[in-house]
A and B are shown apart, each in its own frame.
Chain A
Amino acid sequence: MKEGLKMIAVLTLICGMFSVTLAGLKEATESRIEEQVLTYVQGPAINQVLSGFDNSPVTDRMKFTVHGTEERVTVFPALKEGLLLGVALETFTKGHGGEVGVMVGFNLSGENLSGIAITTMKETPGIGARIAGHGFTSQFKDHSMDVELTSKGGSIEGIAGATTSSTASVEAVKQAVSIFQKIKPQITQAWPGGS
């Protein structure tokens, strides 16, 4: 029994010791990791949906509270010579195999979408996963804020056989549009508008 107790004690203590160390390390690296994740996961998507900027949208990101809700949204601005060209924000909806993450870019000048990019998704390979393909996402480039699938009377062609995935991504864009519209005043306040 004594040996058993010692076993338990040693294992527990070692676990405890390392947990503190690790937690400390986690605290210390947390902000840096976030930065890295944004740079390497969201960064490429932002580059796809925004263009013509000369700043780093990830470094200049800001968080806004959506009016009327508690939700906080990270917005990535595209600036040129300090003036705001457009913004990008990421939204998530439930897809076929899990969350579909969509980075949606907005043109401040024309009030329409500058493009979208899929950041994360776990759709069925070869079918739903085609939403990430160029053919699907490019439809959104310079599209008006009013997006809808053709099946529902809109102008976006869904992926054949992957209704759920197509709907999910369109829903995400719609969500982003509504958020954008709600926080637009705050955005223009935060960065000097270019137009």
Chain B
Amino acid sequence: MKEYFLLFISAIFVNNIVLAQYLGNCPFIGTSKKISVAIGMGSAVVFVATMSASITWAVQEYLLDPMGLQYLQTLTFILVIASLVQFVEMFLKKAVPPLYKSLGIFLPLITTNCAVMGIAIICQREEFSFIKTVAFSFACGMGFMLALIVLSAIRERIEVSRTPKSMKGTPIALIMAGLMSLAFFAFKGMI
């Protein structure tokens, strides 16, 4: 139990997927202008990351490893993730329309989110068990969501404050992200 707790803390705070591991930065900057959007995108990432990490775990364990085709990891993973995302989108649209309305529009944005692919690959490189993979990918997704929501909250405030003209928009967002990352550094001592 303690192990999983540590895994959670580590994935969300210490090794935050965006702020410490540099993954998923495009949507991090791109969808952090409004809190409402950030929440939608964040939950979509949690959902898809958990799901794709689990499936890719199975692909690796039962397909690539037995056949000795580890070198095709990248190719198979991205193929699986892309189809998965598209499938989930179709499924949600049919089965759970309310969820689709709140989450669905972010799903297409996720295919090319390197956080999702990155989490899947990290799970493989760390040789996690299945349960650990699920837990880790979920925690990483939560970390992404946390960072995204915090940044969007900051940006909503920044929007109304005096920033140098050249800093407006993306530059100041990046610097804010840098300061957040610095703040998250403090968690390094936790574990």
Physical contact A–B (CB less than 8 Å): yes
Which residues on A are within 8 Å of B, measured CB to CB? 15, 18-19, 22, 26, 97-99, 122, 125-126
* Majority DSSP secondary structure for residues of A touching B: mixed
CB closest residue in chain B, given A26 = B71
Nearest-neighbour CB distance to chain B for A92, whole angstroms, equals 12
Extra pairs beyond A22-B71, A99-B127, A122-B127 (13, CB < 8 Å): A15-B79, A18-B75, A19-B72, A22-B72, A22-B75, A26-B71, A97-B126, A97-B127, A98-B126, A98-B127, A122-B126, A125-B191, A126-B191
Point out the residues of chain B lying under 8 angstroms from A125, CB to CB.
191
Q: How far, in Å, is B123 (CB) from chain A's closest CB?
A: 12
Which of chain B's residues have a CB closer than 8 A to the CB of A97? 126-127
Contact residues of B between 51 and 80, Cβ < 8 Å to A: 71-72, 75, 79
Binding site for A on B (CB under 8 A): 71-72, 75, 79, 126-127, 191
The smallest beta-carbon distance between A5 and chain B, in angstroms, is: 17
Q: Which residue of B lies closest to A22 (CB)?
A: B72
B191: which A residues are within 8 A, CB to CB?
Answer: 125-126
Secondary structure dominating the interface of B = helix
The closest CB in chain B to the CB of A29 belongs to B71
Residues of the A chain whose Cβ atoms lie less than 8 Å from the Cβ of B71: 22, 26
State in angstroms the CA–CA spacing of A26 and B72 once bound together.
10
| Contact residues in A for B126 (Cβ distance below 8 Å) | 97-98, 122
Interchain CA distance A57-B127 in the complex, whole Å: 29
Instruction: Report Cα–Cα, A97/B128, bound state, in Å.
Output: 8
A-B contact pairs, 16 of them (CB 8 A): A15-B79, A18-B75, A19-B72, A22-B71, A22-B72, A22-B75, A26-B71, A97-B126, A97-B127, A98-B126, A98-B127, A99-B127, A122-B126, A122-B127, A125-B191, A126-B191
> Please, how many angstroms separate the alpha-carbon atoms of A19 and B71 in the complex?
11
Q: Which residues of A contact B72 (CB under 8 A)?
A: 19, 22
Q: How far is the CA of A18 from the CA of B127 in the complex (A)?
A: 27
Instruction: Look across to chain B and name the residue whose beta carbon is closest to the beta carbon of A15.
Output: B79
- Hey, which chain B residues are within 8 Å of A19, CB to CB? 72
Q: Which residue of A lies closest to B127 (CB)?
A: A98
CA of A159 to CA of B161 in the docked complex: distance in angstroms?
Answer: 53
- A93 and B126 alpha carbons, distance in the complex (Å): 16
Compute how far the CA of A122 lies from the CA of B124 in the bound complex, rounded to whole angstroms.
12
| Distance in Å: Cβ of B33 to nearest Cβ of chain A | 36
Distance (Å) between the CB of B92 and the closest chain A CB? Answer: 21
Q: For B79, what are the chain A residues with a Cβ–Cβ distance below 8 Å?
A: 15
Which residue from chain B places its CB closest to the CB of A19 in the assembled complex? B72
- Between B71, B75, B126, B191, the greatest number of chain A beta carbons within 10 A of the residue's beta carbon is seen for B71
Output the nearest chain B residue to A99 by Cβ-Cβ distance. B127
Which residues of B lie under 8 Å from residue A122 when comparing CB positions?
A: 126-127
Question: 5 tightest CB-CB pairs across the interface, nearest first?
Answer: A98-B127, A26-B71, A122-B126, A122-B127, A126-B191
A26 to B74, CA, bound (A): 14
**How far is the CB of B11 from the nearest CB of chain A, in Å?**
13
CB distance from B68 to the nearest CB of A (A): 10
A64 to B127, CA, bound (A): 29
> How far does the alpha carbon of A19 sit from the alpha carbon of B69 in the complex, in Å?
11
- Specify which chain B residues have a CB less than 8 angstroms from the CB of A18 in the assembled complex: 75
